[in-house]
């Protein structure tokens, strides 16, 4: 028989960290971190963006692809504190890498808490 304290603790962990209880073991949800690197042969790393949200990742890649395909400069601005402008000539010379990595939700919570400090 589960105690009230155990039930409250399990509910708290589910709300706070997205943990599930399966077969009396607590299993962590996994999140996918997506990273985009744009590296110029002469100037080095121009852009390094990391996304947890699939939609933001797809939008960023779509903007980058459109700039290359149509011969435009790459511009993006979030309206607050993030602005990037890469001229098309430099962008065409760049190596563009995408990488995904599976991480636990506890790692995500720790990383976000470090960013907020």
SS3 92: helix
Query: What pLDDT was estimated at residue 21?
Result: 46
CA distances from 7 to 4, 13, 106 (A): 5, 10, 20
pLDDT, tens digit, 9 for 90 and up, residues 57-87: 888 889 899 999 999 999 888 788 878 899 9
Query: What pLDDT was estimated at residue 8?
Result: 55
Nearest residue to 52 (alpha-carbon basis) of 86, 103, 8, 10:
103
Parallel, antiparallel, or unpaired: how do β-strands 74-77 and 19-22 relate? Answer: unpaired
Q: Which stretches of the chain score pLDDT less than 50?
A: 1-2, 18-27
pTM assigned to the model: 0.60
Query: What pLDDT was estimated at residue 108?
Result: 66
Nearest residue to 47 (alpha-carbon basis) of 88, 91, 92, 89:
91
Query: What pLDDT was estimated at residue 26?
Result: 47
CA distances from 8 to 2, 13, 78, 102 (A): 10, 9, 40, 29
């Amino acid at each position: 028989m589960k105690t009230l304290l155990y039930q409250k603790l399990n509910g708290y962990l589910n709300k706070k960290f997205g943990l599930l209880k399966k077969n009396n073991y607590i299993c962590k949800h996994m999140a996918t971190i997506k990273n985009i690197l744009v590296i110029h042969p002469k100037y080095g790393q121009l852009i390094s963006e990391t996304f947890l949200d699939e939609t933001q990742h797809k939008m960023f890649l779509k903007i980058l692809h459109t700039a290359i395909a149509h011969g435009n400069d790459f511009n993006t601005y979030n309206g607050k504190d993030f602005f990037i402008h890469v001229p098309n000539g430099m962008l065409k010379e760049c190596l563009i890498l995408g990488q995904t990595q599976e991480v636990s939700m506890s790692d995500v919570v720790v990383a976000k808490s470090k960013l907020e400090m």
